[in-house]
Structure formats: structure tokens, C-alpha cells
Amino acid sequence: MMELPATRAGHIGRAVSATAILLFLAMPIVIILITSFGADGIGTFPPKEYSTHWYEQMAAPGGNWAASIALSSLIATLTTAFSLILGATAATALARGRLPLHTAVYGLVLAPLLIPQVVVALGLFLFFEPAGMLGSPLAIALGHTVLAAPIAILILISTLRGIDERLEDAAASMGAGRLTIARRITFPLATPGLIAAAVFSFITSFDEFFIAQFMSTPDTRTLPVLVFNALQFDVDPTVTAVSAVLIALAVLALVLVAVVRKLGGHRSGRHVLPVEPLT
């Protein structure tokens, strides 16, 4: 097919269109960031005066916001650990094993991503409520693992499929056991994928609302639940500061994933197995 030559006007038009679309998508984020530094108590945009008061109130020791951030961080950390354990196990089985009904198992693993979160939250509520575990950080973390583990599995399956299996076969032919192969070859090469899975699992848990809402108590409210309660009957400007911190956290997480993947790509081009002289 003959391609039409690009013109200067075409380049300018595409650049303007792309810039306009990016500005439109980033507009809510920019508004939140600017409003979070407003000094008034109603969250107006643009602010007439600027202050860091709402950030100070969010980080005040002993306050509801600091307690919710600490609780969400604990739950997200537990969720990340559970998701990596389940993700590494399931991804290894799906990417390296020959499971019967492979497609059905794969679909079952990814089912929580397709089912509405409110349905998953209701099911978890009915499961944990008779056991008296509502409000338990462990129970909420297990519930978040239902949503975070499939994401970790997808990332790790893609990572494992990108690793040359001949390296593992070579190590096995020289007498290395499965644990040695995993410890010395597979997991070191899969480190970028493991870090990416950990980052996305943490963010998924930290931002999750429905499961936390169903399983929280007045004494255990995660950050998204507290944000919802703060906006339900009134407008608390502290929410804008919290939102700005969440935006910064997401940006830092994406930058971390990009850096790790880039470093992992450079490392994959080097020799993984040391070459020793046969003496």
C-alpha cells in the first residue's frame, strides 16, 4: 500500500491534538493538586490563598487520617505478600506446567477481575462475618488478595514466558534441583516482574473500596473508606491533600516499575550463568 508523505501541517495537527487530549485527561489531576494547597475550608478552585494546612492535618499524629493511612499500608503490605506467594505459585504452574483443563484453570484464576467488586465484597462479607473477623486487618488483606493476586499472576506469567527455558534445562542437566534452579536462575531473572507485581498488588489493595467498606468497622477504616465517609455528608478539604498524596504514590510506583524493567532489560542481555574454565 502506498503511504502518503507526511506534511508539516499534519505533524503540527497531530501534535496539537495529542497535547489537547493529554491536557483534558490530566485536568482533574491538576485541579486536585492545586486545590490541595488552598487555605479556605470549602475546597474552591482556584484557591484565593495557598497553605499546607490540609497536609499537616492529614499527617497529624493520632488523627483519623494518619490512623487510616497506617492501616491501609499494613493491609496493602500483607496483601502484597499473599499475592506474590499465590502469584508465583500459580504463574509457575500455568507458564511452566502442563495442567489438564489449562484454559479453564486460567479463566478461574482471572475470574475475580471480571466479577463486579461489590459481588466479591458481599461474598467475602458472608464468609468472614460468621467467623467474627469483620474489621480484622488480616481478613481485609485476604479479601484484597482475591483482587490483587490475579493481577500479580498476569504479570508473572508474562515474565516467566519471557525467560529462556534453556537456561533452566541446562542447570537441570548439570544436576541442579528445582529449588536451586528457582533460587539461582528463575527468580533472579524474574525480579523485574516480581517488583512490578508487588507494586501493582500494593496499589490495588491501598485504593480498594468495596471490600474494605463491607468488612470494616468504626474502629478499622481504611483510607478509601474514610475518604468516602468524609465526602458523604460534607466536603472535607483534607480529602484533596489525601488525593494528591495518592496521585504522587501512583506516579512513583509507575516510575519504579519503568526503572526496574529497564534495568532488567539491560541485565537480560548479559551472561546469567558464569562461565568457568574446565580445569
- Our CA angle for 196, 115, 142, nearest 5°, is 55
pLDDT of residue 264: 63
pLDDT at 162 over 90: no
CA 237, CA 36: separation in Å to the nearest integer? 7
255-262 average pLDDT score: 79
pLDDT at 273 over 80: no
- Our CA angle for 167, 171, 175, nearest 5°, is 165
Contact yes or no for 143/124 (Cβ under 8 A)? yes
Confidence of residue 4 (pLDDT cuts 50, 70, 90): very low
Over its C-alpha atoms, the chain yields an Rg (Å, rounded) of 24
pLDDT at 129 over 80: yes
Amino acid type, 2: M
Per the rule left: phi > 0, alpha: psi between -120 and 50, beta: everything else, 91 is alpha
Q: What is the pLDDT of residues 42-63, one digit of tens each?
A: 666 777 777 787 788 787 787 7
Q: What is the pLDDT of residues 71-83, one digit of tens each?
A: 999 999 999 999 9
Q: Among 30-34, 146-150, 231-235, 257-261, which range has the highest average pLDDT? A: 146-150
